[in-house]
Amino acid sequence: MEKKTLSLCPTCLKRIPATIVEEDGKIIIKKTCPEHGEFKDIYWGDANLYKKFEKYEFVGKISITNTKIKNGCPLDCGLCPNHKSTTILANIDITNRCNLNCPICFANANKSGKVYEPSFEEIKRMMENLRREIPPTPAIQFAGGEPTVRGDLPELIKLANEMGFLHIQLATNGIKLKNINYLKKLKEAGLSTIYLQFDGLSERPYLIARGKNLLPIKQKVIENCKKVGFDSVVLVPTLVRGVNDGEVGDIIRYAAENVNVIRGINFQPVSFTGRVDEKTLLEGRITIPDFIKLVEEQTGGDISEEDFYPVPSVAPISVLVEKLTGEKKPTLSAHQHCGTSTYVFVDEDGKLIPLTRFIDVEGFLELIKEKIEELGRSKMHDVRVLGEIAIKLPSLIDLNKAPKSVNIKKIIDLILSVLKSDYDALAELHYHMLMISCMHFMDPYNFDVRRVQRCCIHYATPDNRIIPFCSYNTLHRQEVEDKFSIPLEEWKKIHRIGGDDDRDDY
């Protein structure tokens, strides 16, 4: 196996050719910069799983672009006509200020010496730009920095609701959510999900990655969510080899114990920045197959490799809904090697039972594809299509293996409602399960232009661009923040803030 692509030189960030090959059961990316020499990194830790995920490839397309093709991907972001996926989740960094000073952070006013903080009106224009996409961006995440340091966050959440975003997330370290009244305020404003930074169940990963033990704060946030009835938290661990890769199972069990408020875990292997020697890179890299193996080992096989699917595996469902409704729908057309997930049910006795153990997922996806083909060949009525799916669905479910706590009829009804484009049914379906996922964001060492072109997680910027996640953090963040920032000391004078002792307040 050998594939050609374009990547970046980790030193000068220039576009250079790269080759993706199989070596010793792994997928390797190799490239040579004329100025800085050869680079080698692990692209995927398991060649067989790489090939298995290949069959779920789904290439989308976009209707609206904001930039022209001039210098080639990823220099023309965004979105340019080379891009293949509309925005499913939009990030808006509403500040780079933070009430922490984490060693691993890539976005921090204290380190950059500048404050990047778009005005309320600028953020409104960014959201308008996202809603102009076809289909309009359905989900938005306010990020940073630490977004809770902005005083107008509740108003921004309220505005996002008014503009029609179906799902509004907050990426946070949780410090301000210790204040239960502030949490209530965000909930009342219409916040959908708290995306909670959560690195483990011991103090060690926090001391290393964050500089202080934040575990009690995380646990306090979960307790506060229970008290106010906020029941949609996603834990977000940054996975670092030798730091918290041994706590994957503990994090999953903690989520299961608190499944009344925790809806998912999105594990994110750490990215490498700066000059890293090859030995450190190859030994420290955690890829998606490595993550899956950690899950299988640390859950005693309760969740295994066979339970995980790549992100675009669900894309045919969106295609069918489009055909049934005649309306353009958001489609998870990300690259098949960008992310993976599984859904598990937490039974009455606390046992984890993956969806795949009692539902024939492959059979369901084949049924969806079959109906798409039938709709393409004839003028089948949507009621008939849904009726045929409803008749077939029970045969795809093994009741003997289903969790005792699961109402199968309710699940079937929700699936059928999702196929009728009922977003509330989709949200409720998620509420019956715990999502365990991994997104492997790229850095200059493993950068692959083909993945960037299929990205569906984007950043909106004040200059009306919409930029894929990995190209933004690797190439464009500095440029955007330089253009729209002011010096930190100047910002402090404007807002009458003193020295470092005020950090937790700004």
Tens digits of per-residue pLDDT, 237-259?
A: 999 999 999 999 999 999 999 99
The pLDDT score that the predictor gives to residue 257 is: 95
Mean pLDDT, rounded, for 141-168:
96
Tokens 């114990």, residue located: 257
Whether the per-residue pLDDT at 108 is higher than 80: the answer is no
Which of 176-180, 219-223, 301-305, 500-504 is the least confident region? 500-504
**Distance between CA 86 and CA 136 in Å, rounded?**
9
What pLDDT digit, counting tens, does each position of 338-365 carry? 999 999 999 888 899 999 999 999 999 9
User: What is the DSSP code (8-state) at residue 502?
Assistant: G
The pLDDT score that the predictor gives to residue 251 is: 98
The number of helices, as runs of H, and strands, as runs of E, in the chain is 19, 19
169 band by pLDDT with thresholds 50, 70 and 90: very high
Mean pLDDT, rounded, for 116-135:
96
**Distance between CA 86 and CA 454 in Å, rounded?**
9
Are the CB atoms for 251 and 265 separated by under 8 Å? yes
Whether the per-residue pLDDT at 336 is higher than 80: the answer is yes
The pLDDT score that the predictor gives to residue 347 is: 87
The pLDDT score that the predictor gives to residue 416 is: 87
Strand order in the sheet with 37-44: 2-8, 15-23, 26-33, 37-44
**Distance between CA 39 and CA 27 in Å, rounded?**
14
The pLDDT score that the predictor gives to residue 421 is: 85
For 301, phi and psi rounded to 5 degrees?
A: 85, 0
The pLDDT score that the predictor gives to residue 281 is: 85
Judging by beta carbons within 10 Å of its beta carbon (0-12, 13-18, 19+), is residue 335 exposed, middle or buried? buried
Task: Please give the full DSSP string across 245-285, using - where no structure is assigned.
Answer: TT-HHHHHHHHHHTTTTEEEEEEEEPPP-S---HHHHHHH-
Q: Give the side-chain half-sphere CA count within 13 A for 174.
A: 25
Instruction: Pick the most confident of 87-101, 272-286, 289-303.
Output: 289-303
Mean pLDDT of the chain, nearest integer: 92
Are the CB atoms for 421 and 321 separated by under 8 Å? yes
Mean pLDDT, rounded, for 281-300:
95
Cα 60 from chain centroid (whole Å): 18
Mean pLDDT, rounded, for 446-460:
97
Whether the per-residue pLDDT at 499 is higher than 60: the answer is no
The pLDDT score that the predictor gives to residue 8 is: 97
**Distance between CA 482 and CA 503 in Å, rounded?**
22
282 band by pLDDT with thresholds 50, 70 and 90: confident
Q: Which helix (H) or strand (E) holds 196?
A: strand 193-197
Are the CB atoms for 437 and 265 separated by under 8 Å? yes
What pLDDT digit, counting tens, does each position of 66-102 carry? 999 999 999 999 899 999 999 999 999 999 998 887 7
The pLDDT score that the predictor gives to residue 28 is: 97
**Distance between CA 61 and CA 20 in Å, rounded?**
24
The pLDDT score that the predictor gives to residue 111 is: 67
The pLDDT score that the predictor gives to residue 377 is: 76
Compute how many other C-beta atoms are within 10 angstroms of the C-beta atom of residue 467.
27
The pLDDT score that the predictor gives to residue 379 is: 65
CA-nearest of 493, 455, 487 to 474 is: 455
The pLDDT score that the predictor gives to residue 105 is: 62
The pLDDT score that the predictor gives to residue 359 is: 93
Mean pLDDT, rounded, for 292-308:
97
The pLDDT score that the predictor gives to residue 505 is: 39
Whether the per-residue pLDDT at 112 is higher than 90: the answer is no
